[in-house]
Structure 1
Amino acid sequence: MRPVPISARLPCWPRTAFPTTLAPATARLRAHLLARVEPDGTVRDPCRSRVLESALLLALLDRTRLESSARLRLAHYLGAHRDSPRPLDRLLARAALHERPAEADLPDVDQFLAQAPDFTAPRRRALLHAILLLLGAIPTAELPPPEAFSQRGLHSWARVQVTAVKAVLAHAHGRPNLIDDQDLDLLRSTQHPGEVWEGNLLIHLCVLHALAPLPDHDQLTVEGIRTALRHQRADSGVPFICDEDTWLTANAASPR
């Protein structure tokens, strides 16, 4: 598939279709955006904290007994979300704080997955079960069918996520034979001190949980945790991704 040439004449809305107040509003938006452009031409905006990643990081700190002050801050952030109106956030926050959830607090997995396209359902079900297992929200879960771990047609980030989830569930079910050297090489390839692979903290933390139980991976896990903690926000939580600077800058620079 080829993109439409920029020189092509595309249909456009007539000026009369827009309210007369649009021009002043556009001018204000443009002024606001220009004020956000830094001297190097970047539009920066760090992402906000999220319960899911904060809970996964707290679980790693509990497992390794590292960074007690950072652990206290994460616990404080999650404590502020233990009564969240969002059921999944409420469950994850309480589970990470070692509060055993009531049966009524557990999510309806089928209803939750219905929000996603059908073709992603097996992968998302496996991811959700892995997260709930890691946080102790459920004692066990059925091992997903092989299609949940298929990497056919997946982007690089999705391949890493699927492999990390497979490793977590393999550990939980005592099935180390499900993970081979190629899987481990892929997971280890994402770990570099001080660098979050693809800027994706969710995948970074999933990989650490997948590798932490393995012999001779202690130092890698420690470095990965310290890398994640570099992105702890002022509210003490951590975000889904490190930032959206490239995305924002590209959109700000695109022609109108």
Structure 2
Amino acid sequence: MALLDQLDEAIDSASRYVASRMTASGRFIGGCEARPLETALFLHLENVLGEDASTAPRLAAYCRRFLDEPTGVSGGIDAILSTLICRRVLGDGLSQADHAALTAGLARFDHPTHRRKRLFFNVILAELGAVAPPELVFPAAAARQPNNQLWVSVILTSLRILLAGLHDRVDAISRDEIAFIVDNQGADGGWEQHVLATIVALIALRRAGYRGPALRRGIDYVRRQLRDDGGIPFIADEDVWVTCLSGYVLAGARPSTCDLNRVARYVAGLQAENGGWAYSEGVRQTDADDTCVALAFLSRHDAVGHREAIRRAQWYLIALQNEDGGFPTFVRGAPSEAEITAKAIIAMRSSSAAAFAGRIRRAWRWLATAQREDGSFRAEWKLCATYPTLHVLSAAALFEGDAAAERVRSRTLEFLRRWRRPDGGWGLRESGGELHLLSTAYALAGLAMDRDGLDRIEFSRSLALLLEMQGSDGGFHGSGDSLGPRPFVYDVPLLASVYSLLALSYSRAALLRHIQRSVDERDRATPQRAWRMVGGL
């Protein structure tokens, strides 16, 4: 079978697989797999409460299976902490070697949020009795900064309460702190569909001696998140984001596969008053990531019919742009991020190129300064280093001839070509390692968007490799690479199929370009051959 025919069949079956996850409302169900961190912490809470042991055996069994065969972690501090927390909750002590590994792992963790994350790690381990509690050094006001996401403020307030309790300083816990946590509980019993924040809040309320109804509602909420394997996930779902992305990809691949009008109505109906979108139903915190993808989808599908939602989303986005020209995820003034900035460029360009020309130029200048020497970018919300490059190259494809975009583009291409494995795929790291499905899909999709991505032979080899990874059900199934809270990995299973479908769709256009280029080269050579034949006569 010719590669183009094989590709068309793969796109058809992948589109059907993704579309099958759409509900009657237009929402796509992405799922979110369980992982050891939340499972172990909820087991700890169940153990200290001792009220209902019905879920505890399943939670404990999940933790034991993880210790026997660690899966779903990224290595490094993720693996170290997940392992130590599971062992501690199951009753094991920590050895001197464990403490040394923990110290070394924390020292290697490098991120702008490292202070906050180290506080989280240390307080949780202290709550489990694994380490001595750190000092209670930050005031209540520091836990609720205006620039914090709501779940961050809930977690930090909970950590303050835990520290006060661990130091026998219950007098340091104010009624206002308890009220802040309780008042921000959702009607379903969770906090912002953020299961980790919910569990930490419940542990803190229990430590503070709170026995009100919020505790029972929260416990019931977490129990409802119990997965078939006996584990607890990081979040309930991120289906708003998954729906926006799925709609955008299907609109470009096979728009007739499902009712995209219904999807668009669902998405538009969830727009917040401020013009943005949140990652899941019932979440109040809007963000640039969801808004960019929603804006791109609505603009692609029906820009006229959704012009009011598009206009409000545009204003939301431009209000987030930082002074440096980049875009953060949640609030203006937070560090700008490469993948979010590239998505914002795409969203602004696809919805109204002329109106945002100046802002787009500033965004490209920031991307040029954020690009590392090797051509890569810091990966913020995904483990794969190829993820930001997908969005940067997708943005650059819309700005051919722009000097700033061209500089960023050329260095990004060099990075991806250098990382490419001999088999045509990409792993998680440049140093090698196993082939990774999502890393390959991101890289191939980005290169397929570029006119000079790969030559035809290289491109065909990479595409054939991705096609080999397609399942018999039409979907793609591999390990997740989403991060939250960084550096912990979580898995939304549908994303492997959505991003692989995106890569296949972009690859089809790239393959047609390669074919057309070959035809053009042949046609240019034909008159010369004819002239030589005439001259020979």
Give the structure-2-normalised TM-score. Answer: 0.41
2:180 is aligned with 1:186? yes
- Structure 1 residues 151 and 222: alpha-carbon distance in aligned structure 2, compared to 1, 3 A threshold: closer
2:119 is aligned with 1:126? yes
Question: 2:229 maps to which residue?
Answer: 235
Quick one: percent identity of the two aligned structures?
27
**Deviations 1:179-198, CA, capped at 9 Å, x for gaps:** 32221111112335743121
SS at match of 2:19: helix
- Structure 1 residues 216 and 165: alpha-carbon distance in aligned structure 2, compared to 1, 3 A threshold: closer
Question: 1:205 maps to which residue?
Answer: 199
**Deviations 1:182-237, CA, capped at 9 Å, x for gaps:** 21111112335743121001000111111103345265323322221111111111
Instruction: Find the aligned partners of 1:130 and 1:41 in 2 and give their Cα distance.
Output: 41
Instruction: Find the aligned partners of 1:35 and 1:223 in 2 and give their Cα distance.
Output: 33
Instruction: Find the aligned partners of 2:107 and 2:219 in 1 and give their Cα distance.
Output: 29
Write the mapping of 1:244-255 to structure 2, written as runs, cut at 5 A. Answer: 244-254=238-248, 255=297
Give the structure-1-normalised TM-score. Answer: 0.81
- Structure 1 residues 121 and 58: alpha-carbon distance in aligned structure 2, compared to 1, 3 A threshold: same
- Kindly provide the amino acid, as one letter, of the partner of residue 21 in structure 2: R
Q: Which residue of 133, 141, 157 corresponds with 2:133?
A: 141
Question: 2:517 maps to which residue?
Answer: none
Instruction: Find the aligned partners of 1:222 and 1:204 in 2 and give their Cα distance.
Output: 12
Contact kept? 1:127, 1:165, Cα under 8 Å: yes
Q: CA deviation at 1:116?
A: 4.2
Q: Which residue of 69, 91, 99 corresponds with 1:98?
A: 91
2:148 is aligned with 1:154? yes
Question: 2:65 maps to which residue?
Answer: 80
Q: Which residue of 31, 43, 61 corresponds with 2:28?
A: 43
2:150 is aligned with 1:165? no
- Kindly provide the amino acid, as one letter, of the partner of residue 67 in structure 2: R
- Structure 1 residues 150 and 225: alpha-carbon distance in aligned structure 2, compared to 1, 3 A threshold: closer
Question: 2:55 maps to which residue?
Answer: 70
Instruction: Find the aligned partners of 1:190 and 1:83 in 2 and give their Cα distance.
Output: 38
User: RMSD over aligned Cα, in angstroms?
Assistant: 2.6
**Deviations 1:64-115, CA, capped at 9 Å, x for gaps:** 1122121111111111122455322221111111111212123434633643
Q: Which residue of 42, 48, 51 corresponds with 1:57?
A: 42
SS at match of 2:20: helix
Larger Rg computed on CA atoms: 2
- Structure 1 residues 135 and 27: alpha-carbon distance in aligned structure 2, compared to 1, 3 A threshold: same
- Kindly provide the amino acid, as one letter, of the partner of residue 90 in structure 1: T
Instruction: Find the aligned partners of 2:212 and 2:189 in 1 and give their Cα distance.
Output: 18
Instruction: Find the aligned partners of 2:143 and 2:52 in 1 and give their Cα distance.
Output: 36
2:208 is aligned with 1:214? yes
Q: Which has the higher contact order (CA 8 A, sep 6+)?
A: 1
- Structure 1 residues 216 and 124: alpha-carbon distance in aligned structure 2, compared to 1, 3 A threshold: closer
Contact kept? 1:196, 1:228, Cα under 8 Å: yes
- Kindly provide the amino acid, as one letter, of the partner of residue 159 in structure 1: S
SS at match of 1:52: helix
- Structure 1 residues 144 and 116: alpha-carbon distance in aligned structure 2, compared to 1, 3 A threshold: farther
- Structure 1 residues 61 and 246: alpha-carbon distance in aligned structure 2, compared to 1, 3 A threshold: same
Question: What is the aligned length?
Answer: 236
Instruction: Find the aligned partners of 1:28 and 1:129 in 2 and give their Cα distance.
Output: 47
SS at match of 2:164: helix
